[in-house]
Structure 1
Amino acid sequence: MSRRIALFSIWLLFVNYTMWLAPLDRPDTWPLVQKLLTLQWGKVNAIIAVIFSLMGVWPMIFACLMFFDGRMQNFRAWPYFLGANGTGVICLLPYLFLRDRHQEFSGKKDKLLRILDKRSTGVALLLSTIALFAYAIIAGDWVDYIQQFQTQHFVHLISIDFCLMCLVFPIATLFDDDMARRGIDDRRIYWAVALFPLFGPLLYLCLRPPLPEISPKVVEARQMASLTSSKL
């Protein structure tokens, strides 16, 4: 419950902060967004272009967890995923604090779930992120970025949004439940992921074992039942 309250508080504060700054009302917002969407990165500070791109990587990281979790909820995960690609944590957080905890997965994995479950998907996201960071380091202008962070509301908000994505990943019980579904009970793995923002979750996607279509708990229960019946 305390995690749910924390996530709701973060969401409420950021929504109000965004409404107060109102970046869409600023004349300098849409020209910048258009350049970012049309990949005119030569006309934009590389650091801003990378942060904008990473705000597309983060929803994919969460998708690799929440689409399995959405099978067990009373509401679908995909509207929140789609919204997160446009508004970041504003659309993502409601899913995280409204969901109920489920540490089992039942049923068959469809084509989408099989793709999201592959370690190669995590590797692709990790390599893309490394390439983006390299581009920011080589071509980015930190003095200009700090100035734009202080003066342009859109740059200010997407930067904070990126930091909030890093913050809410370990806070949300979604990560704990995904570990439990895969039979991972080593808390050192949790802290290793939590203490390394962005790259920790990416490495987790690269290294986590595939999710069985029948949960480990069900398999264990069936084995126990079989063992009991054989003794009788």
Structure 2
Amino acid sequence: MTQKIGFILLWLGFLSYGFIFAPPEDPNTFNLIQKLSAFEIEGINPLIVSLFNLMGVLPLMYAPLLLIDGKGQKLVAFPFVILSFAVGAFALLPYFAFREPQLEFKGEKSWLLKVLDSRVFGIFITGLFLLLFISGLQTGNWNDFVLKWQNSRFIHVMSLDFCMLVLLFPAILRDDLKRRKIAESRFFQTLIWLPILGTLTYFCVRPALPATSKQLSSFS
């Protein structure tokens, strides 16, 4: 119960800050979002381009964890996964608040879960994340980014959302360890608490998810 209350308070606090206390919205925000969505990135700070794209990669990393966790939950995980591509942690925090611990995966994996749960997917998503992250760091203009972070609600909240998503992984990975029968491994226990690099490594080296023979829908 304490954990549920904590996630609810964190969600409400994040909402309040994002819509009330964050810097005012830049009038050019809508035009910027249009250009970023259409990959028209000429003249846009590479740090902003990288951050925007990473906000699409992080929900992809959460997708296999949440869709697997959602098996047997009263709370359907699929809508939260879809919404997270648009609003990030704003969509995931309510799921974390109201989900129940799910320590066993029941049923066969659908084709979608087989793809998302595969080591190949883990390596792919790790490579994609590192490519975007490193390219932004190497070619981005930090002075311009800090200025925009201080004066644009979109950039400001997106940056905080990125940090929130990175730090929230252990909240769902702890149960994932138990489902994979590796909760006693000190290596994996340590790995899931290392921000982002530990999570990416976990996706590449974790063992396959054991499943029973009962077939369930991948979106249940």
TM-score normalized by the length of structure 2: 0.90
Deviations for 1:122-177, whole angstroms, at most 9, x for unmatched residues? 1001100111122112320011101110011100000000011122222x2x2111
Unaligned runs of 5+ in 1: 216-232
Secondary structure of 1:42's partner? coil
Once the two structures are TM-superposed, the CA of residue 21 in structure 1 deviates from its matched residue by 5.1
Q: Counterpart in 2 of 1:8?
A: 8
Tell me whether 1:122 sits opposite 2:127 in the alignment. no
Distance 1:100 1:85 in 2: 23
Change (3 A) 1:79 1:24: farther
Secondary structure of 2:27's partner? coil
More helix by share: 1
Q: Answer whether contact 1:7 1:168 (CA < 8 A) is retained.
A: no
The letter for the 2-side match of 1:150 is Q
Unaligned runs of 5+ in 2: 214-220
Percent of matched pairs sharing the same residue: 37
Q: Counterpart in 1 of 2:206?
A: 208
Q: Answer whether contact 1:103 1:181 (CA < 8 A) is retained.
A: yes
The letter for the 1-side match of 2:95 is Y
Q: Counterpart in 2 of 1:192?
A: 191
1:157-172 matched pairs, under 5 angstroms: 157-170=157-170, 172=171
Change (3 A) 1:121 1:23: farther
1:95-110 matched pairs, under 5 angstroms: 95-110=95-110
Once the two structures are TM-superposed, the CA of residue 75 in structure 1 deviates from its matched residue by 2.4
Distance 2:72 2:200 in 1: 24
Once the two structures are TM-superposed, the CA of residue 187 in structure 1 deviates from its matched residue by 4.0
Deviations for 1:105-138, whole angstroms, at most 9, x for unmatched residues? 1111111110111001010011001111221123
Change (3 A) 1:21 1:27: farther
Tell me whether 1:45 sits opposite 2:45 in the alignment. yes
Deviating runs (4+, > 3 A) in structure 1?
A: 21-26
Q: Counterpart in 2 of 1:143?
A: 143
Change (3 A) 1:188 1:74: same
Distance 2:165 2:179 in 1: 23
TM-score normalized by the length of structure 1: 0.86
Deviations for 1:43-84, whole angstroms, at most 9, x for unmatched residues? 211111111111111111111211111112012211001111
More displaced stretch, 15-24 vs 99-108? 15-24
The structure with the larger Rg is 1
1:66-77 matched pairs, under 5 angstroms: 66-77=66-77
Distance 1:135 1:42 in 2: 15
- Give the paired residue count: 212
The higher relative CO (CA closer than 8 Å, separation ≥ 6) is in: 2
Q: CA RMSD in A?
A: 1.8
